[in-house]
Amino acid sequence: MMHHPRVFGELYVSILKVGESTGQLDLAFKDLAGYMEIERKTSKQLKSATRYPTFVLTAMAGAVAMITVFVIPAFSGVFQRLGDKLPWQTKALIATSDFAVNYWPVLIAIIVIASGSFIYWASTSLGGVLWDRIRLRIPLVGGIFERVALGRFAKTFAILGRSGVPIVTALNVVAEVVGNRYIGSRIAGMGVGVARGESLYLTAQRSGIFLPMVLQMIAVGEESGSLPELLDEVSDFYESEVEYDLVKLTSSIEPILIAFMAILVAILALGVFLPIWDLAASR
């Protein structure tokens, strides 16, 4: 399996290596199967929660593009006859439409260059950590990203600890699989602290990413030798929190999208119909 790192990641190799050497390979595979099932369920929930807003935003972007490129230019000839009498909303729409129609290669080039620069920056080590930290602060969804990553930490660390993987090695493995590079860097820092002889509780407290309740469970588990079992409880707690947050996100995002659509329609309607109303009133 180590010869195929694209298929079997470091988590697989670490757990199966210990399971093979201790004669508990069946339990190692069972833990991996449970981990994969939780990952599949979480991924399915995230896709389900983001499918509706993604579809609505894509449809709105397409509608705005069609209006900007085809509808507004059809009215611009009539509007320009009014000269300075045009309201500022209409002038802004006409200017935007003219730029999109006349300079669309420049607009596409700007979008491509900006997207490519952002992707490159986010792929670097420093930029990736900073972007993942910003993601945790995004309203509505930032908390979900954080709890998903911490749930992965708890479940993965519990599996590795139950399999007999050393704590420092387990922390380094977990740091690569939590799915957030900022949280991963904090977990890797915990591994450095444990390697220096510090307790897991103190390094977790210094990381600043765990709730007080989770820190207490880590302290109790470390002292009693039942850390994997308590981390399973932490994982279940984060999983229930993610489920609740996804339900709340679905109910919260609909009125936000409706309000956004109303504002967009109002701007377009005012820009297109205000000159027509003014012309009709002057007659």
Answer yes or no: is 4 within a domain: no
54 alpha-carbon distance from chain centroid: 13
Mean pLDDT of 157-181: 86
Alpha-carbon distances of 219 from 80, 150, 205, rounded to whole Å:
73, 17, 10
Mean pLDDT of 145-149: 88
Q: What is the pLDDT of residues 206-250, one digit of tens each?
A: 998 898 988 999 999 888 888 888 998 888 888 888 888 888 887
pLDDT band at 117 (very low <50, low <70, confident <90, very high): very high
Q: What is the pLDDT of residues 9-18, one digit of tens each?
A: 877 887 788 7
pLDDT (0 to 100) of residue 283: 57
Answer yes or no: is 158 within a domain: yes
Instruction: Label residue 140 left, alpha or beta by phi (over 0 means left) and psi (-120 to 50 means alpha).
Output: left
114 pLDDT more than 90: yes
pLDDT (0 to 100) of residue 279: 62
Answer yes or no: is 259 within a domain: yes
Alpha-carbon distances of 255 from 104, 145, 245, 251, rounded to whole Å:
33, 22, 16, 8
Q: How many CB atoms are closer than 10 A to CB 173?
A: 23
End-to-end C-alpha distance for the chain, whole angstroms: 81
132, 152 contact by CB (below 8 A) = no
Q: CA 173, 179, 181, 182: dihedral to nearest 10 degrees?
A: -110
* Contact partners, residue 167, CB within 8 Å, separation at least 6: 161, 191, 194, 200
pLDDT (0 to 100) of residue 280: 59
Mean pLDDT of 157-186: 87
Q: Mean pLDDT over all residues of the chain?
A: 83
Global pTM reads 0.78
Mean pLDDT of 152-172: 86
254 pLDDT more than 90: no
187 pLDDT more than 90: yes
106 pLDDT more than 70: yes
Answer yes or no: is 3 within a domain: no
Give the domain extent around 55: 10-79+87-282
Place of tokens 């670490």: 14
Answer yes or no: is 2 within a domain: no
Lowest-pLDDT choice from 115-124, 148-157, 245-254: 245-254
* C-alpha–C-alpha distance, residues 243 and 258, integer Å: 24
Answer yes or no: is 134 within a domain: yes
Lowest-pLDDT choice from 81-95, 104-118, 213-227, 244-258: 81-95
Q: What is the pLDDT of residues 37-77, one digit of tens each?
A: 877 887 887 777 777 778 878 888 888 888 778 877 777 76
Percent of the chain beyond pLDDT 70?
93
35 pLDDT more than 60: yes
Number of domains in the chain: 1
Place of tokens 């896709």: 47
* Cα–Cα–Cα angle for 180, 38, 32, rounded to 5 degrees: 95
pLDDT band at 90 (very low <50, low <70, confident <90, very high): confident
pLDDT band at 192 (very low <50, low <70, confident <90, very high): very high
pLDDT band at 95 (very low <50, low <70, confident <90, very high): confident
83 pLDDT more than 80: no
Answer yes or no: is 275 within a domain: yes
Specify the CATH number for the domain of residue 99.
Answer: 1.20.81.30
pLDDT (0 to 100) of residue 282: 58
pLDDT (0 to 100) of residue 43: 80
Rg (alpha carbons) of the chain, rounded to whole number: 27
* C-alpha–C-alpha distance, residues 202 and 186, integer Å: 13
